[in-house]
Amino acid sequence: MRQAERVGGGVPLEPGMRVRHPDRPDWGIGQVQSVVGHRVTVNFEDAGKVLVNTAVVALEPVEA
């Protein structure tokens, strides 16, 4: 897995993971829906489904 497909601490992104967008706290917590290279689809509580380019944005993992 490439570096860009990982979140803080080197944890690999996987469907089902809960994450935050560091620049958009108003979106709330999101759940990863799919990961294809740097393209990660996340369903956020207050923003709906968003395609995130992890080459640009480092998503933050959220503990369960």
Measure the CA–CA gap between 28 and 11, rounded to whole angstroms.
20
Measure the CA–CA gap between 10 and 45, rounded to whole angstroms.
24
Q: Per-residue confidence of the chain (64 residues) as pLDDT tens digits?
A: 444 456 655 678 999 999 999 999 999 999 999 999 999 999 999 999 999 999 999 999 998 6
| pLDDT given at position 36 | 95
| pLDDT given at position 63 | 85
| pLDDT given at position 52 | 96
| pLDDT given at position 28 | 98
Around 55, how many Cα atoms within 13 Å sit in the side-chain half-sphere?
Answer: 5
**Contacts with 3 (C-beta within 8 Å, 6 or more apart), sequence order:** none
Name the residue ranges covered by the structural domains of the chain: 3-56
